[in-house]
Amino acid sequence: MSVKSTKDAAGTAGRGGPEGRQGNGSAGLTPRDPALVRNVALVGRSGAGKTTLIEALLEANGMIARKGSVVDGTTVSDSDPAAIHQQRSVALSVVPLPVAGMKINLLDTPGYPDFIGELRAGLRAADAVLFAVSAVDGVDAGTTAIWQECQYLGMPRAVVITRLDHPRADYDGVLAACRDAFGETVLPLYVPVRAEVTGLLGLLSGKVFEYPAGTSGPSPRPAEPAELVAAGSARSELIEGIIAESEDESLMDRYLGGEDIDADVLTADLETAVARGSFFPAVPTSAVNGLGTAELLELLTKAFPSPPERGLPRATDLSGSPVRALACDPDGPLAAEVVRTTVDAFLGRVCLVRVFSGTLSGDTPIHVSGHGLADRGHQDHDTDERLTHLYSPLGATLRPVPFCIAGDIAAVAKLGTAETGDTLSAKDQPLLLATWEMPEPLMPVAIEADSHSDEDALARSLGKVAAGDPTLRVERNAETHQLILWCMGEAHAEVVLDRLRDQGVKLHTVEVVTPLRETFATPAAGHGRHVKQSGGHGQYAVCDIEVEPLARGAGFEFVDKTVGGVIPGTFISSVEKGVRAQMQKGVASGFPVVDLRVTLVGGKAHSVDSSDAAFQAAGALALREAAAAGSVQLLEPVSSVVISVPEVHVGTVMSDLSGRRGRLTGTTSSGGDRTEITAEVPDQELLKYAVELRALTAGTGTFSRRYLRHDPVPGNLAAAAAAR
């Protein structure tokens, strides 16, 4: 792109210009026109240089004088670099950049796979995506998977190649890797000047933009003939790529006929192709000397779409009935969404909100609608609250702003019930936005409070942590009674536990207990005699039962075959109650008993001393004696697992499944180079599978699971399983 664009005029293709009105906020943080806003998610692997790139953009824009310093009350660094790095590595954050009368909301997303939920929240709030790829480390499988997800969503994308100043930087190799992973329409707009890597050659403008040490921006100069020759093939490929995306079908014929196509025409077609998500420009950068920062900002403001150019989530009323389609209109009905929730020690709950329609203003009543994640411990709710203050977030700093229009992003403090994924709407016109897809947490972590007095604090803190993390599922297992945190992986689990401990909760982790069950392997008989004498009424009940195992999943049957009234009819159900109660307690290892038929064949009663409680006790005793006389078998839960991996990893994954006592049930091609493997695997072998599959497949494998049935535990493992 050239420094001067054909879309400098306000309103062209929905992109605002310098005459757009600004609000009263600090540093232009409250635009009044959605066309003056750009919401850009910055994604990439951990270590790709996203955070340092943001600091370079802030420095280039005059918001910080140097990295880590303060300008106008704003700081993006911290006295503890390790702490701030970890915070940015695991959480979504927003950095607003006022540029040329516009506002760019940069959404810095985590690079670790465990925090894909935060990344998807960033994609939900964004209208375009900037992929950061290190010139040292290149493209990893996780970045490729995110690219494919953005492609499915139809999001405009661009690539920024970072760390160009590193001694091991390989710009050409990484650019080739990007094109191989993302497609041939990834093409550079600039190439580094090879002599000292302090300048970029604009392939369309034919100018070199140099970044001498100590300067605040680029100094353009005409490219030298040798530099133009060196970039000739890259320039030709870029022009041909742009023309291929042009709606003017005559351009290719004119270009092939030798006509020199005007740079303004090419720039206009480029920007249109980028906005519609069919062309992906690449810009090389260095955060050390600011190389490429001005060019990148120009790309973000002029080629990426404004909020009115993107579609909005589907909205319904609270009953689920569709409403009139929303538009990105500040005067429309209010519809905003919480994309992240944190708890501040002084401000309480702070919600990061993307406004899709209408305008959020301070000191106004709003309606907070629940989000449909009750299965993860996030209960639905519909409450009225009053919005007090709005802020524009930058690092740990919250700057007050008077309002937030459709298309913009703001922080809202002191909402009592709002959680990530909730909808904020007008009190008199409540709405519910369709939620975005959240990944399923598949790694269980069992926790316990250190003491009984810590249990209440643990419950309160879990509610706060879960409010801001829709990828976390909190479960109290009904069979094992363990408190289970279902997490995305080990890193996610560590962050959740740290957040709980930071709130003063004393807790520890324990081994996850797999909910086993017991059943009878062979028929057996049991005699239950409960006889006690005391002053007054005694207790007298005798019953004889026969036990037969049933097919898996058949449940429980109770049959009465007594004759002659040996047990009065009023006490037959008492025997059944006692048997059922003992089944819940277990008869050998303390696990519930399933899939059996109990037949009551005889017994005795006393006219005075027999009672409901006595026959319940006799029934329980009879079942225990039958278990001692017969053979009890342990059953373990088995899940149906669907694993999606690239073809190159199929053999490794199938071999690993065999080692997990898995039974392969099929493989199918799922498109591209990926294969779906289906198998039946014991749950005990899946406790850490979310982490282990990632290691086996270099981060490319995913899986889902659903409970299938309980199967017998192999004899060599039964003793160890019972001991757990």
Candidate ranges 77-81, 146-150, 158-162; pick with highest mean pLDDT: 158-162
Higher pLDDT, 644 or 24: 644
Per the domain annotation, does 10 fall within a domain? Answer: no
Question: Are residues 58 and 121 part of one domain?
Answer: yes
For the domain that residue 488 is a member of, what is the CATH number? 3.30.70.870
* DSSP codes joined into one string, 661-717: T-EEEEEEE-STTEEEEEEEEEGGGGTTHHHHHHHHTTT--EEEEEEEEEEEPPHHH
Per the domain annotation, does 231 fall within a domain? Answer: yes
Candidate ranges 59-68, 105-114, 213-222, 527-536; pick with highest mean pLDDT: 105-114
Strand locations in 395-505 (E): 397-401, 403-405, 409-413, 423-426, 432-433, 443-449, 473-476, 483-487
Per the domain annotation, does 132 fall within a domain? Answer: yes
Residue 253: CB partners within 8 Å, gap ≥ 6? none
For residue 28, name the pLDDT band (cuts at 50, 70, 90): low
User: pLDDT > 70: what percent of the chain?
Assistant: 89
Residue 336: CB partners within 8 Å, gap ≥ 6? 353, 354, 355, 356, 357, 358, 360, 404, 423, 424, 425
Question: Are residues 500 and 384 part of one domain?
Answer: no
> How confident is the model at residue 210, as a pLDDT?
87
Judged against a pLDDT cut of 90, whether residue 91 lies above it is answered with no
Judged against a pLDDT cut of 70, whether residue 14 lies above it is answered with no
Q: For residue 578, count CB atoms less than 10 angstroms from its CB and return exposed for 0-12, middle for 13-18, buried for 19 or more.
A: buried
Judged against a pLDDT cut of 70, whether residue 110 lies above it is answered with yes
Question: Are residues 241 and 143 part of one domain?
Answer: yes
For residue 661, name the pLDDT band (cuts at 50, 70, 90): very high
Question: Are residues 522 and 503 part of one domain?
Answer: no
CA dihedral (295, 296, 301, 306) in degrees, to 10, reads: 150
For the domain that residue 526 is a member of, what is the CATH number? 3.30.230.10
In the sheet that 443-449 helps form, which strands lie side by side, from edge to edge?
473-476, 483-487, 443-449, 507-510
* DSSP codes joined into one string, 354-382: EEEESEEESSEEEEEE--SBGGGTB---E
Question: Are residues 526 and 462 part of one domain?
Answer: no
**Tokens 């109770």 -> residue:** 558
Token pair recorded at residue 650: 């199929």
Which H, E and C letters describe 554-568, residue by residue? CCEEEEECCCCCCCC
CB atoms within 10 A of CB 232: 11
Question: Are residues 421 and 277 part of one domain?
Answer: no
Q: Is 259 helix (H, G, I), strand (E, B) or coil?
A: coil
| Cα separation, 676 vs 184, whole angstroms | 27
The predicted-structure confidence for 55-70, as pLDDT tens digits, reads as follows: 888 888 877 765 444 3
Per the domain annotation, does 197 fall within a domain? Answer: yes
Higher pLDDT, 616 or 273: 616
Question: Are residues 215 and 172 part of one domain?
Answer: yes
Question: Are residues 231 and 93 part of one domain?
Answer: yes
Question: Are residues 281 and 222 part of one domain?
Answer: yes
Mean pLDDT (whole number) for 8-16: 33
- Point out the domain boundary residue: 275, 309, 343: 309
Question: Are residues 450 and 415 part of one domain?
Answer: no
What's the pTM?
Answer: 0.83
Question: Are residues 225 and 190 part of one domain?
Answer: yes
Q: What range defines the domain where residue 545 resides?
A: 517-630
Residue 195: CB partners within 8 Å, gap ≥ 6? none
> How confident is the model at residue 75, as a pLDDT?
41
| Cα separation, 9 vs 711, whole angstroms | 69
> How confident is the model at residue 84, as a pLDDT?
39
Mean pLDDT (whole number) for 600-626: 95
Compute CA distances 705 → 145, 149, 492, whole Å. 20, 21, 19
Average pLDDT score, the chain: 86
Question: Are residues 175 and 289 part of one domain?
Answer: yes
Per the domain annotation, does 600 fall within a domain? Answer: yes
> How confident is the model at residue 73, as a pLDDT?
37
Sort strands 539-549 and 596-604 into parallel, antiparallel or unpaired: antiparallel
The predicted-structure confidence for 311-332, as pLDDT tens digits, reads as follows: 899 999 988 898 988 999 999 9
Q: How many domains does the chain have?
A: 5
Whether residue 93 contacts residue 396, with contact meaning beta carbons closer than 8 Å, is answered with no
Q: Is 454 helix (H, G, I), strand (E, B) or coil?
A: helix
For the domain that residue 677 is a member of, what is the CATH number? 3.30.70.240
Residue 45: which of 120, 126, 146, 127 has the closest Cα? Answer: 146
User: pLDDT > 90: what percent of the chain?
Assistant: 53
Judged against a pLDDT cut of 80, whether residue 128 lies above it is answered with yes
Token pair recorded at residue 438: 């959240």
